[in-house]
Amino acid sequence: MQPKFKKMLYGGDYNPNQWPKEIWDEDMKLFHQAGINSTTINVFSWAKIQPSENEYDFTELDEIVDTLTKEDVQIVMATSTGALPAWMVHRYPEVARTDFEGRHHKFGHRHNACPNSPVFQKYAKRLAEKLAERYGDNKNIVCWHISNEYGGECYCENCAKAFRVWLKDKYKTLDEVNKAWNMEFWGHTIYDWDEIVPPNDLGDGMPWGSGTAFAGMSLDYMRFNSDGMLNNYKMERDAIRKYDKETPITTNLMGTYKGLDYFKWAKEMDIVSWDNYPSYNTPWSHVAMTHDLMRGLKDAPFMLMEQTPSQQNWQPYNSLKKPGQMRAQSYQTVAHGADTIQFFQLRRSVGGCEKFHGAVIAHAGTADTRVFREVTQLGKELEKIGSRVMGSENHAKVGIIFDWENYWALEYTSGPNRDLRYVDQIEQMYNYFYNKNIAVDMIPIDADFSKYDLVAAPVLYMVKDGVAESLEAYVQAGGTLITTYMSGIVGQSDNVHLGGYPGPLRKMAGVWVEEIDALAPEQRNKIRFADGTEEECRLVCDLMHLEGAEEIAQYESDFYAGMTAVAKNQFGKGTVYYVGTDLSESGLAKVLAMAADSAAIQPVIGEATALEITKRQADGEDLYFIINFKDEEIPLPAVFDGKEDILTGEKVQGGEMLKKYGLRIVSVPRA
């Protein structure tokens, strides 16, 4: 795949406007010393660039751009629209957001603009256009970065009006709205468009329980909010395109962030970028899964726009990264599809709430720090191997469906168990494949399933029109599908598919679920597999009947002891596994092993190992990223004996021991 950039970008957020100019010269020397070849600038400079309504001042930004250009530093140019200037909120209070509780905000913080404010849109578009007109022909600008970490919601009158327009476009008539939201419930029938109120705490939103009395309404508001912010992104993108037709345009996403439908957003982005901030105890499997999700948004390499070189400042416990951890984490990112490594931030701020957020250049202002030495080592390595890695591709025969509308719907539903969380359920399934070094693509609900030998669709709660038919066609043609409890329950407006769970998946799964039991945190059940193996289960238990499927395991206790807990059904040339309860890790692994075996799924290498091994396919070679995230030394698999490590140029020896955070990037020529 043709890479987006000529070199692997290595750098990050840079705010020289916060420093006197003599510091800029020091920064340039330190950047070159560390191998920093790119900077992301102008992220939060709207107030500096536009000090009043009709006044623009680009003097300082011109100097920053000139300095970086003379030093041949690649520039990621942000549009500065992630935080409003104070004068705008003072003069036009409607540009600020109204929160879920109905409180209208004053000036402050960031990500603080009402996405449906005509005033905000007017000035944001104008600013993006002026930036592109002024800098669009600068060859050192290699990427445009719109706004910053889009997120949040607004419930003001501007949003209410825009929501009604959005609904008219989607439903055409109020009869269809009432039907979709089941407004006969509680006597909520709407007779006039102006009677529709956004579902906040003052209306049909609820700050407790599921968060809503009418999930169909709240789902539509989530869709509307995601679309509205996306329209803002597209507005700025199109303004830039008037003057710069080619430079890639992006905005930084946030992994499994709930509020925005990233698969929909990715269609409008030239390249996906995201900010990776795991906490001190985030499993490495979760980090890997999120990278795979970001790669999966466009099925293409992505940008790591932000990570910290040392520590965060905004989490409850902001531990330092241990020696070697930043390097290993960076290579894990590259292994799963990144073509850039960028930090927040390059120089640590003097004040503000991020003054203790890690940086390449610490408050000491010297190169004589552990972090700077590690950044320098990584910079030299990436400069050496970047051209060999960039544009290489990750391929998988396992696809796991990640669907934002299911994410919203499952967590809006009032029952059966409040501890049922969408990302947790996805991650449980991903972990099995991660631990086996089996490559995974995170895929949308409308993916081409035929690319995969095995598709996993855990908690596929919402099955919209056409989804069941696509999955049936996939299985009938020979595919293997795994789905679980809380699947096939509702349609696109959270109205139940009548006729028995799992609704439109029932025929293909070969089971009928009569009831769903909820287990409190202290409660457990057990299941027994046909071979006598016993495993624990929790959260929910489907009480199911077989309709052609084969029993794999049954419950051992409660009044439904002896009923089927896990089933397998032959459907056409393929197979469907239905898991009716939240299994222990080993129990789920047993089922997934059966499914993987029936689909002939193979790991990246044949040898079992506790090392993380990921493969990217480049021209004429496979690049294996081998990383040790465990607390003990682990031998390198024998299959790599005699192969080249592209970091060192040396031949590796199978059996050599890798320490924690140790890594090898091994090239295996492809015939």
Q: Determine the pLDDT at residue 207.
A: 81
In a domain, 87, yes or no: yes
**492-499 average pLDDT score:** 96
Q: Determine the pLDDT at residue 486.
A: 98
Q: Pick from 389, 420, 443: which residue ends a domain?
A: 389
> What is the domain-level CATH number for residue 648?
2.60.40.1180
pLDDT beyond 80 at 671: no
Q: Which residue out of 153, 306, 381, 535 is catalytically annotated?
A: 306
Q: Determine the pLDDT at residue 408.
A: 98
Q: Determine the pLDDT at residue 309.
A: 97
Among 159, 156, 132, 162, residue whose Cα is nearest residue 145 = 132
**Domain limits for position 118:** 9-154+227-389
Q: Which residue out of 129, 149, 381, 405 is catalytically annotated?
A: 149
The reply to whether 108 and 233 lie within a common domain is yes
In a domain, 605, yes or no: no
**604-628 average pLDDT score:** 97
The reply to whether 40 and 147 lie within a common domain is yes
The reply to whether 375 and 427 lie within a common domain is no
The reply to whether 101 and 22 lie within a common domain is yes
**CA torsion through residues 414, 419, 423, 428, sign:** negative
In a domain, 581, yes or no: yes
**536-542 average pLDDT score:** 98
pLDDT tens, residue by residue, 633-649: 999 999 999 999 999 99
The reply to whether 516 and 479 lie within a common domain is yes
In a domain, 259, yes or no: yes
**504-509 average pLDDT score:** 98
- Helices and strands (H and E) in the chain: how many: 17, 26
User: Which residues are known binding-site members for Zn(2+)?
Assistant: 114, 154, 156, 159
pLDDT tens, residue by residue, 435-482: 999 999 999 999 999 999 999 999 999 999 999 999 999 999 999 999
Cβ contact 459:487 at 8 Å = yes
Looking at the structure of the chain, the number of domains it has is 4
In a domain, 4, yes or no: no
In a domain, 603, yes or no: no
The mean of the pLDDT values for the chain is 97
> What is the domain-level CATH number for residue 494?
3.40.50.880
Phi, psi of 514 (to 5 degrees): -85, -45
The reply to whether 467 and 328 lie within a common domain is no
Q: Determine the pLDDT at residue 206.
A: 85
pLDDT beyond 90 at 81: yes
The reply to whether 212 and 256 lie within a common domain is no
**227-248 average pLDDT score:** 98
Q: Determine the pLDDT at residue 638.
A: 95
Cβ contact 546:585 at 8 Å = no
pLDDT tens, residue by residue, 190-216: 999 999 999 999 999 988 878 999 999
Q: Determine the pLDDT at residue 210.
A: 83
Helix or strand or coil: residue 365?
coil
The reply to whether 254 and 166 lie within a common domain is no
Q: Determine the pLDDT at residue 654.
A: 84
pTM value is 0.98
* Tokens found for residue 563: 């009923």
pLDDT beyond 90 at 370: yes
> What is the domain-level CATH number for residue 85?
3.20.20.80
In a domain, 278, yes or no: yes
The reply to whether 48 and 129 lie within a common domain is yes
* Burial call 525-552: b when 16+ CB within 10 Å, e when fewer: bbbbbeeeeebbbbbbbbbbeeeebebb
* Least trusted range by pLDDT, from 197-211, 236-250, 368-382, 556-570: 197-211
State what percent of residues in the chain have pLDDT above 90: 98
CA distance 479 to 468: 14
pLDDT beyond 90 at 623: yes
The reply to whether 166 and 129 lie within a common domain is no
The reply to whether 524 and 555 lie within a common domain is yes
The reply to whether 181 and 266 lie within a common domain is no
Q: Pick from 183, 200, 219: which residue ends a domain?
A: 219
User: Which residues are known binding-site members?
Assistant: 110, 114, 148, 154, 156, 159, 314
In this prediction, residue 503 has a pLDDT band, given cuts at 50, 70 and 90, of very high
Q: Determine the pLDDT at residue 603.
A: 98
* Burial call 46-76: b when 16+ CB within 10 Å, e when fewer: bebbbeeeeeeebeebeebbebbbebebbbb
End-to-end CA distance of the chain: 18
In a domain, 1, yes or no: no
Q: Determine the pLDDT at residue 331.
A: 98
Q: Pick from 553, 569, 598: which residue ends a domain?
A: 598
CA distance 496 to 500: 9
Q: Determine the pLDDT at residue 209.
A: 78
- Catalytic site includes residue 306: yes
* Tokens found for residue 211: 């968060």
